[in-house]
Chain A
Amino acid sequence: MTPEQYNQLRHSREMEQRNRPLTDEELDKLLPGDKEGFAILPPPEGYEPL
């Protein structure tokens, strides 16, 4: 494995780690909630993610 391949592997693994799905609990830990003046905005009906 060349150094470039190794780096590419390491980077894509890191990106996978940074891109793994966030659970609701994790979001609640990360972001301010009702106490701090933020409320979750429900998506409008018929909103389907791209």
Chain B
Amino acid sequence: MSVPPSHNTSGLRLPPEVTRILYVRNLPFDVSANAMYDTFGKYGAIRQVRMGTNAKTKGTAYVVYEDIYDARNAHDGLSGYNLAGRYVVVTYFQQRTPLAA
């Protein structure tokens, strides 16, 4: 897996709550892969997207970016973004379980 150069890594330190994984709520239930990848892909390379499938999780998704600075830009740029008629809510996913060393 080639690691894209983190073009805008200015070494700028980001607060600890900023992570590469965004938790998105209030998505239209029938949002397409194209719409998700177009909307979120504008901010940078997407590592993975997980969509909610059951009654409880429908309309929410996890969007994982390759680069933490892209995730921060997406978070700032997309909060309150109108996606197909619904205002999406974007928050940073906080890791509960520590990453394996």
Contacts and interface: CB of A to CB of B under 8 A. Distances in A.
B50 A41 contact: yes
B53 interface: yes
B95 A50 contact: no
A1 B54 CA distance: 55
B64 A19 contact: no
Interface residues of A, number: 30
B101 to A, nearest CB: 11
Interface of B: 1, 3-4, 6, 9, 11-14, 19-21, 32-34, 36-37, 41, 44-54, 56-57, 61-62, 64, 66-68, 93, 95, 97, 99-100
Interface of A: 8, 11-12, 14-15, 18-19, 21-22, 25-27, 29-34, 36-44, 47, 49-50
